[in-house]
Structure 1
Amino acid sequence: MPSTLPEGEPVPADGSLPPAALDELTSRAFGAYVHVPYCTTRCGYCDFNTYTASELDGDQGEHYLDSVRAEIELAAAALGGRTPAIDTVFVGGGTPTLLPPAELGRTLADLRAAFGFAAGVEVTTECNPETVDERSLAALVEAGFTRLSLGMQSAREHVLAVLDRHHTPGRAEAVARWARRTGFEHVSLDLIYGAPGETADDWQASLDAVLATGVDHVSAYSLIVEPGTRLHRRVSRGEVAVADDDTLAERYEQAERTLTAAGLGWYEVSNWSLTSADRCRHNEGYWRSANWWGFGPGAHSHVGGTRWWNVKHPAAYGSRLAEKNSPAYARELLSAQDRRVEDIMLRVRTTDGLPLGVLTDRGRDAAADALGRGLLEPGPYATGTAVLTLPGRLLADAVVRDLVD
């Protein structure tokens, strides 16, 4: 089951925010995240806030987006019309494409009516390949979606099986091609490496299959075995073995070689795109500490240094909104130091890099040491920016720890 929410201070029933947070609304981009917490089955590695029909007494979410609409109305009132027009929308999950395209489109219309959409707004939905066909993809484009993020994970059937992924090998690649034909401006395929039993040849087959589709964006994540998941229980019992750090590093280097040779460049440690225009702008907002409101159970939000998170269960979420109350479980007010540390942690992982001027004297000393060890690029460093080399990306967490000390 999904992990436990963190504690924090209470959130006002009307969702109102501190004046200092509202003052920052116009200085940064504003995005919207919509969480759809439904899945047909639970993948063995997943600890996201998702639920199957059996876990919700058969509820398939028929009226769920009515609750989301109520939170949109609450957000509009709490923000008092002070937000810039929405620059990015990301509908994630869960499996958003279990809901009809017209219903997802209605939610986009609700967001547009409440906040307005900026010119060139990026509108993304995640997608399980088995839940769409060419007709539904065309309907999503008609509803206003511009970007499709497909969960492929692997091209190898035995790797999908150990991950408890229930889609047919080859289906994700087919959907990616359909998405292009039906009018999506951007199509991304997501991969996971380091699964039990995956070989270098298996990983190469997945990379090659992705590139054969001609997508403009690829995400590749190292498998993390989260406590409480079915995969964690299997690993704990010794049924399967996870890849060691050396193997994970080899898989990452393999991805970098293959994707770079095909013309995709990294712009965040786990993300590659054909051009800067093909990057996921919504995720870039997270890495740049933009403002966003997360709608749905368990969704997290951030505005002007105030972060909050919603109750996790769909029934509790709907009940609070039905009573005209905020669905937020708790919040925290980030200090200037908290925000500086987070800025370092996130921006150093991107190809745009981190301005050295935000570091303390000790942090700049650590950056100089990282440069000497080949972990930072010399060119950007000379002009005042810390950008990770390939070895630096493999040790990104350690570099970050040194920079923030």
Structure 2
Amino acid sequence: MASQLPDGLAMPLNGALPSTVGVGALGKTMSAYVHIPFCRVRCGYCDFNTYTATELRGVSRASYVEELKKEIALSIDVLQRADVSLRPLHTVFFGGGTPTLLPVSDLADALQALRDSHGIEPEAEITVEANPDTLTAEYVDGLVRAGFTRVSVGMQSAVPHVLSALDRTHNPAAVDQAVSTIHSAGLEASIDLIYGAPGESLADWRRSLEQAISLNTGHISAYALIVEDGTALARKIGSGAMDAPDDDLQAEMYELADELLSKAGFQWYEISNWAKSQQQHSQHNLAYWNNQDWWGYGPGAHSAIGGTRFWNVKHPAAYAGRLAEAHSPALSYETPDQQAVTLEQVLLGSRLAAGIPTQGHDPQAISTLIAWGLIDGKRAIEGRIELTLSGRLRADEVVRELLFRSQD
């Protein structure tokens, strides 16, 4: 069961945005996220808004791109009615689910619809997520012809028993073949890893890291496993069939990741992301973290335009039904107040290697964080709050100290 949508104000059926968004969008880049909600099987740890064939309630994958194109056309109308200047897309990201379950021609069609409507910057980063066993040379060639620049490969682990604990179905050997195919086609490849799965040892994690590094990609993400309520993994842990992730072991795994990746020429630029150069940072994720604008297309997708956040109905059948009636698929919206915006800026900005300004934060809180070894003292004196390695492991404490000390 995918996680629940947040509460909010009811969105008008025509999708009209508040009159303030035109001003709020000034000076921001525009990105597009395209949600492909289909999976062959549901991984036990996953609470994303994804559906297997038996859960689609009559919706066809074959018609999905036509529904996306309806929302793309509607979004242009909504933006124009709100007096938001159309901006060429800075980044595009196809996520899921498993986008590469669709024919490559469908992905190309959706991308072309975005190009025809919004326009796309000449050097835009255009990414698609992929399971390694869905990529063939022919498929990747189709991605190149469509204009994709980057493929994010869901490796997760190089160890079979760890993949089994996560309910991942691919053969570890498929990752090497997929990355080789991506590189041969001239595309950038990024690797996604997960650590802390039930039964995973530090040696297992080292093996996965070393395998990922050997693939010679320019970007690696490593995420601590989080047990989400309602997932199959949560039920197994609740019944005692599997052990819960160990916080201390996950901390050791993070330290090992930073050590090995740093030795291999990677630098962290966000707590869970490392790259070999600034040019290989995920520009799409940076757009989120830096509070730029984006429109999320597809069931359950979230958008942020000019300070207003809104989100679509979750199920593909409900999404298709609304569009069939020429209604917006957006369910609800919110316009966060300044306090909420500040909280988010600290939550997200403090996770970046670039950090956040010291200005506006309690000097005593900053002194405390320096004393605890959680932020860099020299950089704090120079006016930036930047996390140390210990600070990355205790990022939530840093945020609490920065935001709530003055309220105590």
Normalization by structure 2: what TM-score? 0.96
For residues 201-232 of structure 1, give each alpha carbon's deviation from its aligned partner in whole angstroms, at most 9, with x where no partner exists.
11011001011110000000000111111111
The residue number in structure 1 matching 2:170 is: 167
The aligned runs of 1:312-331 (5 Å cut-off) are: 312-331=314-333
Residues in 1 aligned to 2:245 and 2:320: alpha-carbon distance in whole angstroms:
41
**1:58 to 1:18, Cα distance in 2 relative to 1, 3 A:** closer
2:196 is aligned with what amino acid?
G
Contact 1:138-1:183 at 8 Å conserved across structures: no
Contact 2:20-2:306 at 8 Å conserved across structures: yes
Residues in 2 aligned to 1:212 and 1:3: alpha-carbon distance in whole angstroms:
35
- Partner of 1:342, secondary structure, is helix
**Cα deviation, residue 402, structure 1:** 1.5
Farther off after superposition, 109-118 or 292-301: 109-118
Farther off after superposition, 43-52 or 10-19: 10-19
For residues 93-114 of structure 1, give each alpha carbon's deviation from its aligned partner in whole angstroms, at most 9, with x where no partner exists.
0000001111111111111111
Contact 2:25-2:307 at 8 Å conserved across structures: no
Farther off after superposition, 252-261 or 394-403: 394-403
Contact 1:305-1:335 at 8 Å conserved across structures: no
Residues in 1 aligned to 2:355 and 2:18: alpha-carbon distance in whole angstroms:
31
Contact 2:293-2:304 at 8 Å conserved across structures: yes
2:389 is aligned with what amino acid?
L
Structure 1: stretches of 5+ with no match in the other structure: none
Give the fraction of aligned pairs with identical amino acids, expressed as a percent: 45
The residue number in structure 2 matching 1:343 is: 345
- Partner of 2:249, secondary structure, is helix
- Partner of 1:72, secondary structure, is helix
Farther off after superposition, 279-288 or 240-249: 240-249
Contact 1:298-1:310 at 8 Å conserved across structures: yes
The residue number in structure 1 matching 2:47 is: 47
The residue number in structure 2 matching 1:302 is: 304
Contact 1:320-1:326 at 8 Å conserved across structures: yes
Residues in 2 aligned to 1:247 and 1:40: alpha-carbon distance in whole angstroms:
31
The aligned runs of 1:5-404 (5 Å cut-off) are: 5-57=5-57, 59-80=59-80, 82-184=85-187, 186-359=188-361, 361=362, 364-404=363-403
Residues in 1 aligned to 2:76 and 2:59: alpha-carbon distance in whole angstroms:
28
Residues in 2 aligned to 1:242 and 1:328: alpha-carbon distance in whole angstroms:
36
Residues in 1 aligned to 2:359 and 2:121: alpha-carbon distance in whole angstroms:
32
Contact 1:36-1:94 at 8 Å conserved across structures: yes
List structure 1 segments (4+ residues) > 3 angstroms apart after TM superposition: 57-60
For residues 69-116 of structure 1, give each alpha carbon's deviation from its aligned partner in whole angstroms, at most 9, with x where no partner exists.
111111101111613211000000000000111111111111111111
Residues in 1 aligned to 2:106 and 2:96: alpha-carbon distance in whole angstroms:
15
**Cα deviation, residue 58, structure 1:** 6.5
**Cα deviation, residue 378, structure 1:** 2.3
Structure 2: stretches of 5+ with no match in the other structure: none
Residues in 1 aligned to 2:322 and 2:238: alpha-carbon distance in whole angstroms:
38
- Partner of 1:232, secondary structure, is helix
Residues in 1 aligned to 2:152 and 2:121: alpha-carbon distance in whole angstroms:
21
1:178 is aligned with what amino acid?
T
2:24 is aligned with what amino acid?
E
